[in-house]
């Protein structure tokens, strides 16, 4: 199989040289040529039917399960732990840093789906399977990737539906929050050094849609190590902590709140607005982002979400069906959300 592929590749190389030399071939035809041999990340290529797929990211694993294509999934990346049955029934093939090439070869996949990146490209392209690199940094990327994965696993309608579900959840949230003043928010994914969500990518986009303003948004990265001085200076009204799973013990939450209490000039600390959301809901680029968005919205405006629906005019919101609506136990309720920013 591998040898065949290599043969095909060298044939193609010869062909490409020939084509490049031949003036009769239009540039467009030449550009289209690679699609038949190697994999591409664009959806230009007709969706070939794949039967043995390896998922190389937790997000892709979740998407495939959500679409009902798991019978074609033969291997998943380490750290893919959702849905729970995935980790139980599918063999693990390592992660980008330590790809288990032997394991992958032994699974005889015909397709590997992975986020793009130089390291992924180097390690995954020579394993005898087609490789589909699907960017997953922004909501736009995801809208495309949901559709594409639907095509690849033979469930195109489901893929398009999932893409539409996420898009309409985001649109509905945007509409709900359009007329409200944005809540100055800091999203923390790690302490020591403190890592926060910057102004690029899915988490930032969901925060904006959910009615927040990212106080760490000046740095156009998805996550970065922030200077704590800037955290103090930015005076966030809400701090959303993503470092704990939803089933974390109360003591763990208390420890984080106790840490923040040392910095009482931060409005979010002063008003007890340290909120907790499970990191997987917001950072795994998959179907659970819809739940993550709902949780984020609720974290930003806890009292308003107690009301059944803030503005009935916006009613048909597909986001409301999410499983993320359970009350997360230890929420510090606030009694002050009306303060403006700019207390300098």
CA distance 184 to 217: 11
Q: At what angle do helices 139-152 and 156-177 cross, to 10 degrees?
A: 160
Nearer to another protein by Cβ, of 153 and 279: the residue is 279
Angle at 187 between CA 163 and CA 120, to 5 degrees: 55
Q: In the 8-state DSSP scheme, what is residue 161?
A: H
CA distance 201 to 27: 34
Nearer to another protein by Cβ, of 12 and 79: the residue is 79
Q: Which two tokens stand for residue 231?
A: 């955290």
- Provide, rounded to whole angstroms, the least separation between the CB of residue 234 and another protein: 7
Write out the residues near another protein by the rule CB under 8 A: 79, 95-98, 189-195, 216, 218-219, 224-235, 243-244, 248, 251-253, 255-256, 258-259, 262-263, 265, 343-344
The distance in angstroms from the start CA to the end CA of the chain is 67
- Provide, rounded to whole angstroms, the least separation between the CB of residue 92 and another protein: 13
Nearer to another protein by Cβ, of 82 and 146: the residue is 82
- Provide, rounded to whole angstroms, the least separation between the CB of residue 79 and another protein: 6
Contact 263, 232 (CB under 8 A): yes
Nearer to another protein by Cβ, of 136 and 151: the residue is 136
- Provide, rounded to whole angstroms, the least separation between the CB of residue 94 and another protein: 11
- Provide, rounded to whole angstroms, the least separation between the CB of residue 267 and another protein: 9
Contact 103, 113 (CB under 8 A): no
Nearer to another protein by Cβ, of 22 and 251: the residue is 251
- Provide, rounded to whole angstroms, the least separation between the CB of residue 295 and another protein: 17
Nearer to another protein by Cβ, of 281 and 290: the residue is 281
Task: State whether the Cα torsion 31-36-42-46 is positive or negative.
Answer: positive
Burial of 335 (0-12, 13-18, 19+ CB in 10 A): exposed
């Amino acid at each position: 199989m591998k040898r065949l592929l290599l043969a095909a590749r060298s044939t193609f190389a010869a062909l490409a040289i020939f084509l490049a030399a031949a003036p009769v071939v239009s540039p467009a035809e030449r550009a289209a040529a690679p699609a038949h041999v190697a994999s591409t990340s664009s959806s230009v290529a007709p969706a070939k039917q794949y039967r043995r797929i390896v998922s190389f990211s937790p997000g892709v694993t979740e998407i495939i399960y959500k679409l009902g294509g798991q019978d074609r999934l033969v291997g998943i990346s380490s750290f893919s732990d959702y849905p729970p049955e995935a980790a139980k029934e599918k063999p693990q093939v390592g992660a980008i840093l330590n790809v288990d090439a032997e394991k992958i070869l032994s699974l005889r996949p015909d397709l590997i789906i992975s986020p793009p990146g130089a390291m992924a490209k180097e390690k995954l392209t020579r394993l005898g399977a087609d490789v589909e690199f699907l960017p997953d940094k922004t909501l736009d990327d995801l809208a495309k990737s949901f559709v594409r994965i639907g095509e690849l696993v033979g469930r195109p309608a489901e893929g398009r539906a999932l893409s539409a579900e996420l898009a309409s959840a985001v649109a509905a949230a945007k509409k709900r929050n359009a007329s409200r003043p944005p809540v100055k928010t800091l999203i923390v994914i790690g302490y020591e050094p403190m890592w926060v969500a910057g102004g690029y990518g899915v988490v930032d986009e969901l925060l904006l849609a959910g009615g927040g303003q990212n106080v760490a948004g000046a740095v156009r990265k998805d996550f970065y190590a922030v200077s704590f001085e800037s955290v103090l200076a930015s005076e966030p009204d809400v701090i959303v902590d993503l470092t704990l799973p939803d089933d974390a013990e109360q003591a763990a939450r208390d420890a984080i709140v106790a840490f923040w209490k040392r910095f009482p000039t931060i409005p979010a600390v002063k008003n007890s607005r340290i909120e907790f959301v499970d990191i997987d809901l917001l950072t795994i680029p998959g179907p659970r982002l819809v739940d993550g968005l709902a949780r984020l919205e609720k974290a930003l405006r806890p009292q308003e979400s107690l009301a059944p629906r803030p503005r009935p005019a916006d009613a048909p919101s597909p986001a409301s069906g999410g499983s993320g609506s359970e009350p997360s136990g230890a929420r510090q309720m606030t009694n002050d959300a009306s303060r403006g920013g700019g207390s300098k």
